[in-house]
Amino acid sequence: MNGTCELKTKVLNRTNESKVNNVEQETQNGQYYANSNVYSYESVVKIAQFLLDRVPFTPKIGIICGSGMGAYWNKGSLAEALQNPIKFPYEDIPNFPISTVEGHAGQLVFGYLSDVPVMCMQGRFHYYEGYPLWKCAMPVRVMKMIGVTHLIATNAAGGLNKTYKVGDIMIVKDHINMMGFAGNNPLQGPNEERFGPRFPPMNSAYNKQLIRKAKEIATAEGLGDLVHDGVYTCLGGPSFETVAELKMLGMLGCDAVGMSTVHEVITARHCNMTVFAFSLITNMCITDYDCKEEANHCEVLDVGKLREGDLKHFVSKVVEYMAQTM
Ligand SMILES: O=P(O)(O)O[C@H]1O[C@H](CO)[C@@H](O)[C@H]1O
Ligand SMILES: Nc1nc2[nH]cnc2c(=O)[nH]1
């Protein structure tokens, strides 16, 4: 595998400061909230318009590729499989953050999956990269402004549920917003009603019909043994969890743990997108003090590579089904 576990040379200091300042200036209006989103509604529309001006179709399905699933060296990966792709490196999109994590190529790709137009984030943004949650989730709003109604969020996660195995797929049926417990939420700050309501409900965040159908698809495609549904939780990272933390998360009812997705889903539901999400279980969480193994990002990327064919096939079928229901 090319480039496994070498930190990208593109690091935060390549962020275009003047671009970021533009957004801040548009939104300050004499009031600045340190913890709140500096992307005004208009600035998100502008980003969407920049992309719409350059793409001859408008996708209704948006996909976020998890670690290893959107790596540029994984030629068989989901993002690399889009037909007739039009690619936008993040640094070329006005006011967009950049990806700094190995396994996240750092580009938006528009193209066709099973003849259905989609847009795909080949690389997402994480809190531990230094981005606030509202910035990590901002591209979801761009998707919405482009016309996306259905979000597929994928991630790599550690398996807490003892019945899971490395390489399994956990369809997310619910999440526990641990960062929210600590008062951190992507919707913090003044609410922009044009995106959604001040107090969005989350009890039906993950579409039940899609969960049911995805399980049927998995069975029909011979992936039934790999697929579970469960509860995902996101911690801030970048450190992996201690044994005590993992034991606690298990007791709380978490089946898988990662460092993403929850803030994207909250933002998507806030603007009324239909959400489907799944985790690729890339490692089993270590809850035994005598275990000599340690969690590591190489393993996460390697399992993404191993499962790329199955995941591409699974997502293509889910996309086909979604397109029929629109
Ligand atoms: O959630 P994604 O981006 O798939 O990646 C997961 O894998 C990385 C750790 O190996 C972390 O970024 C964690 O969030
Ligand atoms: N927090 C966390 N994120 C992950 N991403 C992939 N595996 C893991 C894990 O074990 N813990």
User: For the segment 93-110, what is each residue's pLDDT rounded down to a tens digit?
Assistant: 999 999 888 877 899 999
Report the pLDDT averaged over residues 154-165.
Answer: 97
Nearest atom of ligand 2 to the alpha carbon of 295: 10
Q: For 258-295, what is each residue's pLDDT tens digit?
A: 999 999 999 999 999 999 999 999 999 999 999 999 99
Q: Structurally, how many domains does the chain consist of?
A: 1
Instruction: Give the closest residue to 304 by CA, choosing from 279, 282, 283.
Output: 282
What is the longest distance spanned by two Cα atoms in the chain? 58
Query: CA dist 8 to 11, 60, 74, 94, 316, Å?
Result: 7, 31, 16, 21, 29
Does the annotation place 283 within a ligand binding site? yes
Q: Flag whether 310 is in a domain.
A: yes
For 86, the 3-state DSSP assignment is strand
Ligand 1 centroid, distance to 71 Cα (angstroms) = 12
Q: Flag whether 13 is in a domain.
A: no
Which tokens go with 262? 């929850």
Average pLDDT, the chain: 90
Domain at 215, CATH number: 3.40.50.1580
Q: Flag whether 11 is in a domain.
A: no
Distance of CA 224 to the CA centre of its chain: 23
Domain containing 108 equals: 23-325
Q: Flag whether 59 is in a domain.
A: yes
Q: Which of 124, 278, 300, 315 to mutate to test the pocket of ligand 1 (most atoms within 8 A of CB)?
A: 300
Q: Flag whether 235 is in a domain.
A: yes
Q: Pick the ligand that lies closest to the CA of residue 67.
A: 1
Task: Please confirm, yes or no, whether 131 is among the known catalytic residues.
Answer: no
Give the pLDDT band (50/70/90) at residue 248: very high
Which tokens go with 185? 């939420």
Radius of gyration, alpha carbons of the chain: 19
Q: Flag whether 304 is in a domain.
A: yes
Q: Flag whether 17 is in a domain.
A: no
Residue 167 near ligand 2, beta carbon < 6 Å: no
Task: Please confirm, yes or no, whether 40 is among the known catalytic residues.
Answer: no
Does the annotation place 125 within a ligand binding site? yes
The per-residue b/e assignment along 26-54, b for 16 or more CB within 10 angstroms, e otherwise, is: bbeeeeeeeebbbbbbebbbbbbebbbee
Q: Flag whether 104 is in a domain.
A: yes
Query: Which amino acid does the sequence have at 129?
Result: E
